[in-house]
Amino acid sequence: MMHKIGLAQMDIAFGNPDENKKRVEQWVKKASDDGCDTLVLPELWTTGYDLTRMDIIADDGARDSSSFLTSLSKKHSIHIVGGSVANRTQNGVSNTLLVADSNGRLVKQYSKLHLFKLMDEHHYLLPGQEDGMFSLHETEMAGLICYDIRFPEWFRKHVLMGAKVVFVVAEWPAERIDHWQTLLRARAIENQCFVVACNRVGSDPNNEFGGCSLIIGPWGEILSKGSQTEELVSAEVNLDEVEKVRKQIPIFQDRRPDFY
């Protein structure tokens, strides 16, 4: 079961949703023209980390962003793991991942569970309340957001629920990019799954972002890796590899959850 996945390792216009939509339209077309079945966008691609203005620039119920992504996914017949957007609800603003399938249907919304205090997320955003599970290509998958990968128990929960591919969308700073790469490979190896991680590039008034988007196989092998500039990072993945690896080293059969 071969599929081509692309990662839109893009720069983000700070606090400018209209400009960012124009950029995403170009990335979706580029991925479609390149033969990708699925395109992944980075975290908070509509606004960047313009947190102090979230009340003004966030998308009510993520409705506009959802309509935008489902329209593009249908037009180009491509699945879009639509990064995340600032989603205004009656209780506040959440950092919400959106997934649209190639038929133009919204199949998942997941709001970031773990808020990153070092970038003041807890002052402006609400934590999520649900898991990141969804299905594409008749395969169970999951989507997590940036800081979530530092919590292996949260990642493992999704794999125990059946995820063979875990997508990660991020705005990971350049100064900690070595953590990004190490954590992602560890999550792939210990869970024997594909990890598909899209990070942004560029900078905002407070941060420089590190790129190095990754597509990692269930052995922990790097199938494709981005640089620190804008580019479409892509790789062909065979989803059947997950079961082969899990049979070779049956870690899930050997777990001892009665002790932990």
The residues assigned a catalytic role are 43, 112, 146
C-alpha closest to that of 200 among 211, 192, 215, 208: 211
Give strand ranges (E) for the chain.
2-9, 38-40, 59-60, 79-89, 92-100, 106-111, 133-136, 139-145, 165-170, 194-199, 201-203, 208-210, 214-216, 222-225, 231-238
Query: Are 100 and 107 spatial neighbours (Cβ–Cβ below 8 Å)?
Result: yes
Helix, strand or coil, per DSSP, at residue 159: helix
Query: How are beta strands 79-89 and 38-40 bridged, if at all?
Result: parallel
Residue 128 has what DSSP assignment?
P
> Distances in Å between the alpha carbon of 237 and those of 11, 81, 231?
25, 16, 19
Query: How are beta strands 201-203 and 194-199 bridged, if at all?
Result: unpaired
- Say how far apart CA 162 and CA 158 lie, in whole Å: 7
CA 150 to chain centre: 14
Helix, strand or coil, per DSSP, at residue 208: strand
